[in-house]
Each structure stands twice: as C-alpha cells, then as structure tokens.
Amino acid sequence: MSDSNVDIRRIAAGVVEQAVRGEQIDVMVGHGRSTSVRVFGGEVESFTAAESYAIGVRVISGGRQGFASAGSVDPDVVADALVEARDNVAFGEADEFYGLAEPDGVEPVEHDHWNAELLAIDAQTKIDLALRLEREVVDSDPRVTGVRVAAWGDSAGEVAYAASSGVSVFDRGTSCSIGVQALAGADGETQTGAAGDAARSLEALDIDRVIREASERSTRLLGATKPPSARLTILLEPRLAMTLLGIVAGMVDGESVLKGRSPFADRVGEQIASPLLTFVDDPTDSGSIAATAYDGEGLACRRNVLIDDGVLGGFLHNSYTARRMGTASTGSALRGSRSLPGVGAQVLVMEPGTRSFDELVASIDLGLYVNAFSGLHSGVNPVSGDFSVGADGLMIRGGALAEPIREVTLASTLQRLLLDIVEVGGDREWLSSGDAAASLVIADVSMSGA
C-alpha cells in the first residue's frame, strides 16, 4: 500500500534478473489489505482486518514449465520460491507452446483507481453503515421479519508483474462494498432476498437501492405456488441477464475451445445469437469497478468483441492458447499471485437497447419475470449447450406483473436462448462484479411446473 515499506516492483524485478541462459522467468507479486464488518441483531457479529503478501514464480526451460508460490515476500522465502520453481521444471510435461507473452505494441489504457480517502474511513463509520442497512431493511416492510446478515467490506490491493522478456507492469486499486440479506415471512412461510453494491468510494455506494432491492426480493415471492407447465417468454433483469451471458462468455475462451467444452468452437463469423445482441469484454472501460490496464501476463488489456449484432466475433486468448490455435493473445490472461495464467473475460459489457424495464413487461402477454436461477452449474452442459435449471419469479399476464411462482424448471439450449432474444432493454447498469448488463426478453422457453 502507499504506507508500506515493501516495494513489490523491486521484488519482482529482482527475481527476473536471476534468469540464466535458456531460461524464461515471470513473477507476480501481490499485496492486499482488507476489512470486513458483519452485524446481526443490532450488534457487531464480526470485525476483521487482514493484510497479505503473495508471490508466484514461473520458470520455463527446455519446453517444460515449473511453478512455485508463497504467502510471504521475505527475501529467503522469495529465494526458495525461485529454487522450487526451477526444481519443478524437471517434473513438468514438455509442451512446445509454453512461453512468455511477447510485447505486442498495444498501448495500455491506464486507470487511477486508488482512493486514499477510502483507506482513511474509521471503523465506527463502517459499523454504523452496516447497522443502518440492517435497521432500514427491517423497517422497509412489515413483512420483513429480520436480516440474516448485513455487511461492509473494503479492500486495497497492488500487483507487480515482471518477466525476462522485458515486460514490467504495476497496478493498484481500492474499493468498498455493502451487502444485506433480508428475511420476510407470512402465513408460516419465509423467503430471503439479497442485494449489494460496490464502488470506488463510500459516496458512490447506492445505499437506498440496496435497501429497497433486498426488501423487494425477500417479499415478492411470498405466497408463491407451482404453476402449470407452459411455453412462454422469460424476462431477465440485468443481474440475471449477465448470469446467462457469463456462461456463454466462459464458452468462448481458448482454453474451453481447446478442451472441447464449447458448442461454439467452429462458429467464428457465424450468427449465433439474435442480431439485437452485442456483447464485449472490455476491461478498458473506466465505468467498471473492475477496469484494469494489464492482463495476467503483462500485456495491455483491450476491447474484445465476443458477439457483434449476433455474430460470433472470436475467442479470448492468453499467450499459450493463442500459440496452440495459431493466433495472437487478446490480452485476456487471468492470473493471481499464486496461480499460473488462465484465460477468460475480465469485464463483460452488453450494448443496451432503448425501452425501460416497465415497457418490456408491458410488451409481454404471457411470460415469467425470473427472480432467481438455481442449479446452474449442474444444469448447463458446456459441450452441448443444453440448459435445464430451476427458477422462481413473477408471472407476467397481459403486460403486467402477476402472481409469484416457484419450483419450476426452465429448459432450452444456450444456442436457442441466444437466438430467441427478442429485445434488449435500455436499462443497462453496472453490477457489483464490474460487468454491465441490460434486461433480456427471450421467447419460447419451456417452463415445467405442476
């Protein structure tokens, strides 16, 4: 942090300087600090503060790769990590595609996400905010019987990456978050509803929205019943639209394609979705709390178009998957200080439509406004795209929200869901994850109920 005497950039560079002939080395060093507050029943349940360091060292030699990590940057520990990484090379499997990312000339979009004022917030302010969340959620509706947890969190982190290829980058940022889970009851039934927000400053947190959404989500399913089966239109608000498209994004990275875990493997340039859908991975967008300048291999992040007017634009790559597929890295390496580089999306952004959420509801004769999905991990087949998940929500009848329903199964395929998007809402919002999504209206989905 700014008040630390440990220079993680110097540590990373010092390890890389020890590379010998025929050897490639890259190093990632991270330093983080965080606090969290949880309250329950008007009292502090827990208050924790933590600080951590981590280092990961990768050595590539003779077509083999070795890796070691540690949770300390003590000089002796750092030296041992390099020795261990070198030793592990001998146990690695030879792979001609191992190697460091080569600088590609793309200029980084720098972001100033460091807020010293956030670090100066006193403990009592954090506690008071968590207590306010709990109190005002309970007071928001007579059906809200309590709060399971109300919480505050903040973090500050910095990361340094250096490689023997000459790449050396540094990034840092601060953020804060709030979250609350409400309990609502009626006639012996209990429902829960959670909401949260994250921002770069205390002032940017939308506290009133979090309180309102937690209350609404906990009460709107009271009295829900299991409806008859039907084929209908579903309406996904931004957070659930991103849940769905996040699954799709996980199928269009180079690793998934190489492992045969993508139904879109050979469809670049083809129409895979409604022409209404444009969907990008853009960590350069400063509107996102997750915006960053560099990927996990030190390359500049960039805007990658995944789906453009329904057409599959291409796959996300780190340097390894790019070499195996005969292309170039898209600056999409994901890596923590104690892990090897993976690949995937960093900031997912949907292009919005024009109509409001209320206008979308009014356009649907028979449909389901989905409140939540369940069983996503087991209900989506990454090879075939088969989609069969549990859901609950509110029926839509004659263009208006109607009775709550529960215990239904929505079934289709991801390919069919994408093609059956009939409208993208104009209600795009930045989510706590850093992604930006708008509501989706999807036609002709099978709902299995009673």
Q: For residue 118, which amino acid is it?
A: L
- 369-382 average pLDDT score: 90
- From-to residues of CATH 3.30.2290.10 in the chain: 8-218
pLDDT of residue 448: 95
Compute how many other C-beta atoms are within 10 angstroms of the C-beta atom of residue 254. Answer: 25
What is the distance of C-alpha 417 from the center of its chain?
21
Q: Is the confidence at residue 284, as pLDDT, over 80?
A: yes
Token code pair at residue 419 = 């093609």
pLDDT of residue 2: 44
Mean pLDDT of the chain, nearest integer: 96
Angle value at C-alpha 429, between 427 and 434, nearest 5 degrees: 160
Kindly list the distances between the CA atom of residue 179 and the CA atoms of 45, 123, 132, 190, 325, in Å, as whole numbers in the listed order.
Answer: 15, 17, 11, 20, 42
Q: Is the confidence at residue 398, as pLDDT, over 60?
A: yes
Sorted by sequence, the CB contacts under 8 Å of residue 170 that are 6+ apart come out as: 8, 9, 158, 159, 160, 161
Longest dimension (CA), the chain: 74
Q: For residue 279, which amino acid is it?
A: F
Q: Given strand 436-437, what is the order of strands in its sheet?
A: 311-312, 304-308, 279-281, 348-350, 436-437, 429-430
pLDDT (tens digit per residue) in 115-148: 999 999 999 999 999 999 999 999 999 999 999 9
pLDDT (tens digit per residue) in 168-212: 999 999 999 999 999 999 988 999 999 999 999 999 999 999 999
Q: Please give the helix or strand (H or E) that residue 9 lies within, else none.
A: helix 8-16
Q: Is the confidence at residue 289, as pLDDT, over 70?
A: yes
8-218: CATH superfamily? PmbA/TldD superfamily (3.30.2290.10)
Q: Is the confidence at residue 3, as pLDDT, over 60?
A: no
- 40-46 average pLDDT score: 96
The C-alpha atoms of residue 169 and residue 167 are separated, in whole angstroms, by 7
Question: 4 falls in which pLDDT band (50, 70, 90)?
Answer: low
pLDDT (tens digit per residue) in 225-275: 999 999 999 999 999 999 999 999 999 999 999 999 999 999 999 999 999
C-beta of residue 220 within 8 angstroms of C-beta of residue 195: no
pTM: 0.93
> pLDDT > 90: what percent of the chain?
96
Question: 304 falls in which pLDDT band (50, 70, 90)?
Answer: very high
pLDDT (tens digit per residue) in 322-364: 999 999 999 999 999 999 999 999 999 999 999 999 999 999 9
C-beta of residue 426 within 8 angstroms of C-beta of residue 206: no
The C-alpha atoms of residue 365 and residue 214 are separated, in whole angstroms, by 28
pLDDT (tens digit per residue) in 69-117: 999 999 999 999 999 999 999 999 999 999 999 999 999 999 989 999 9
